């Protein structure tokens, strides 16, 4: 991929984030209910707020301004790192995200690592094994994982490793009174990361690796590499695995959105202190400022992951890197 193509893709990514911010703000603004009414009801213990009090609070919060005016004001603040104030807690949204987003990013990053390594290992083993029984066993496991909803995978792993075997903690960041160390965090992170990695398209990813490698096993340059006496590991890594990962890399970048969305549900199941619980609470309480920031952050992660997926495809396939079309 040349510099011009990279700049075009980066500009396109920025445009996508800008459009996403408009759509996010517009959809939240069109949602039924009033944030001011929710705030007043929470303050009064659930009693309905008088319309006059709701209108007064809306004027105070600037919610009675036209939507374009409020969007420009919000976007200008976002550009400077000011995401507004959470309606629910009264805290700056940036502070809430600073406390929770790193844990979500850690969970997503570790789950991504598990998913990539596991999919490559399983797909490569299924493509290269000479045992039909082993291949069918791997394909059966991949088929099962591919058809199992993510929350079912999470609950199954929770029951096996935390309930039955009792070798991993069931949730949270640490036990009460336990010091927060790297080892403790890693122990509590392992189960939700595995659930997230193997519960969201893992079977599809592994099958893409398997298909990509199998498609290349009989091509002329691979036969030529074998005929030249190259070591089997060199043939696999250089001539089979690298070009065979192109379909997987293209699909994985686009599939990160599902992984991030799955991370929010996984956090709730395992009581992981990330953005997921904040997003659910914000949606319940109509905390539009916090919810808009979470949606925008999620969209930004997805756009960046898609861009990185394109760069990975360009690195794996020289034809893409040279800007020439690819043909199978």
Q: Where are the domains of the chain?
A: 3-79, 99-320
Rg of the chain, C-alpha, whole Å:
24
Predicted pLDDT at 320:
57
Cα four-point dihedral sign 4, 256, 271, 283: positive
For 99-320, CATH number out of 3.80.10.10, 1.10.3720.10, 3.40.50.720, 3.30.500.10 equals 1.10.3720.10
Give the pLDDT confidence score for residue 188 in this predicted structure: 93
Helix-strand-coil split of the chain, %, nearest 5: 75, 0, 25
The C-alpha angle 116, 121, 125, rounded to 5 degrees, equals: 150
Q: Is 126 helix (H, G, I), strand (E, B) or coil?
A: helix
Rounded CA gap, 289 and 297, in Å? 12
pLDDT score recorded for residue 173 = 87
Distance of CA 66 to the CA centre of its chain: 33
Say if CB 119 and CB 313 are below 8 A apart: no
Question: Tens digit of pLDDT per residue, the chain (328 long)?
Answer: 567 777 887 888 888 888 988 888 888 877 777 777 877 877 777 777 788 888 888 888 887 888 888 889 888 988 888 888 887 787 899 999 999 999 999 999 999 999 999 999 999 999 888 888 999 999 888 888 877 888 888 899 999 999 899 999 988 888 877 778 999 999 999 999 999 998 878 888 898 998 888 887 767 666 666 667 666 777 677 767 788 888 888 887 777 777 887 888 899 899 999 998 888 888 877 788 898 899 888 888 888 888 888 888 877 776 655 444 444 4
Is the dihedral angle over the CA atoms 190, 191, 196, 199 positive or is it negative? positive
Quick one: pLDDT at residue 96?
A: 92
Q: Which of 297, 317, 230, 224 is nearest to 257 (CA)?
A: 297
pTM of the model: 0.82
Q: What count of other Cβ atoms lies within 10 Å of the Cβ of residue 2?
A: 11
d(CA 272, CA 196): 12
Count of all residues that appear for the chain in the document: 328
Structure confidence at residue 227 (pLDDT): 63
pLDDT at 325: 45
User: What local confidence, expressed as pLDDT, does residue 324 receive?
Assistant: 47
Helix (H) or strand (E) holding 181: none
């Amino acid at each position: 991929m040349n510099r011009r193509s990279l700049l075009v893709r980066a500009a396109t990514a920025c445009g996508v984030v800008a459009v996403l911010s408009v759509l996010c703000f517009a959809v939240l603004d069109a949602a039924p209910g009033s944030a001011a009414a929710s705030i007043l009801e929470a303050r009064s213990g659930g009693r309905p707020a008088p319309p006059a009090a709701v209108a007064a609070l809306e004027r105070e919060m600037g919610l009675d301004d036209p939507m374009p005016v409020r969007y420009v004001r919000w976007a200008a603040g976002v550009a400077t790192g000011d995401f507004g104030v959470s309606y629910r807690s009264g805290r700056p949204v940036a502070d809430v995200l600073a406390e929770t987003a790193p844990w979500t990013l850690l969970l997503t990053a570790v789950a991504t690592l598990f998913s990539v390594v596991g999919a490559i290992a399983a797909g490569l083993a299924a493509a290269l094994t000479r045992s039909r029984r082993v291949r069918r066993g791997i394909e059966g496991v991949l088929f099962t994982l591919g058809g199992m909803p993510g929350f079912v995978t999470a609950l199954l792993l929770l029951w096996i490793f935390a309930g039955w075997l009792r070798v991993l903690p069931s949730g949270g960041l640490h036990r009460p009174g336990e010091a927060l160390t790297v080892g403790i965090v890693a122990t509590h992170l392992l189960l939700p990361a595995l659930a997230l990695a193997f519960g969201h398209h893992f079977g599809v990813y592994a099958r893409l690796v398997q298909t990509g490698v199998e498609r290349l096993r009989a091509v002329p340059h691979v036969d030529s590499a074998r005929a030249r006496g190259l070591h089997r590991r060199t043939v696999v890594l250089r001539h089979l695995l690298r070009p065979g990962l192109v379909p997987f890399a293209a699909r994985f970048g686009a599939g990160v959105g599902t992984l991030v969305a799955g991370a929010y549900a996984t956090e709730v199941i395992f009581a992981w202190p990330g953005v997921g619980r904040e997003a659910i609470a914000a949606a319940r309480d109509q905390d539009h400022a916090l919810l808009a920031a979470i949606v925008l952050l999620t969209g930004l992660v997805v756009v960046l992951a898609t861009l990185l997926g394109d760069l990975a495809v360009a690195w794996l396939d020289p034809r893409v890197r040279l800007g020439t079309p690819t043909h199978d």
